[in-house]
Chain A
């Protein structure tokens, strides 16, 4: 097996992914510097508002990651390209990771701000449903032996889950206006321009970091499959069908 047997796209990624990683590192370093040192504390929340610079980008990025998973799943069902399936698998793992971190940092922010680790807010509830869907997705993939069927079923689950999320969000929002006082609201944070620069830097940096991680993880899943298939450990040649191209 020589290097040219590796899929062209994977080789392209290997060549260009460094730019994304570098840009992500630059943006995030600058964002951290401005966010932690150069920006003023928030008028209402004081220094605690600095958690925003890590929490909000994580939340944005998990939605971005799930959107990538959704798009990839449609693309897979359309073209049946195994490499796209690797990308979906990678995106699902990253969605779970980013969502979990967004929830955890949100809880840490909630404690000093509303004096509660958790409220059944529409956003928090949608995020926990998102986490459950992606964990279900990853579990489903481990329970299917045939790689082609695994890819197909997983894509269906991702698409149905994506359509469900806005409905979950609205239903919880309606439900919450019935059951909880409005005093605890996530919409209390108004963003002044001084806070916007580090927030933008961190958001862009986190999105770039996600795209870099997606590339690396796609490569990883592809290469593991490739080696497994060449060693005869895979039952079907599914992930190799386009590898020779």
Chain B
């Protein structure tokens, strides 16, 4: 039985490492903050900000890849200056994520990339729903088989004839 639990322990540890790496990857590359958080606590380096493109604020030349607009959150609004590839999905009243750096001197967010919102809840729940039951079923089956072998090996009551 010890070997059995040991093997599962190894599986669990590796699974935890993958989960940990995924969570870190999510926090570094995918998690986004709201415009209010940027204004309250100006960050350094690249950040992702999620908000709504306010109606009537979108200006610039989209085909050349230049635009300015106001990105609204719940409490605060951020003025964004986008410079990059011509965006395909930049429209007014659209929820999206802008990637770039906050310029505290000019109070403008300089974005170089736009990203769509994604539903991470669906991805996470699909992986949990798909894989956890398999592992649980396998664990309990394996444990039962080990116990049955043990029972047969140690069974003095039912000696063979």
Contact = CB atoms under 8 A, between A and B. Distances in A.
Contact of A109 (B25, B118, B126): B126
B44 interface: no
B159 A1 contact: yes
Interface in B25-42: 25, 30
A36 interface: yes
Contacts, number: 103
Given A32-B18, A58-B130, A227-B151, A50 B123 contact: yes
Bin the interface of chain A by size: 35 or more
A48 interface: yes
A14 B119 CA distance: 43
B126 A55 contact: yes
B129 A47 contact: no
A37 B126 contact: no
A22 to B, nearest CB: 9
Q: At the interface, is chain B mostly helix, strand, loop or mixed?
A: helix
A1 B160 contact: yes
A12 interface: no
B122 A112 contact: yes
B13 to A, nearest CB: 11
Interface in A11-49: 14, 21, 25, 29, 32-33, 36-37, 41, 46-48
Interface of A: 1-3, 5-6, 14, 21, 25, 29, 32-33, 36-37, 41, 46-48, 50-51, 54-55, 58, 97, 101, 104-105, 108-109, 111-112, 209, 212-213, 216-217, 219-220, 223-224, 226-227, 230-231
B18 A224 contact: no
Contacts of A219: 145, 148
Contact of A48 (B30, B118, B142, B145): B118
Interface in B106-134: 116, 118-120, 122-123, 125-127, 129-131, 133-134
B144 interface: yes
A37 B149 CA distance: 40
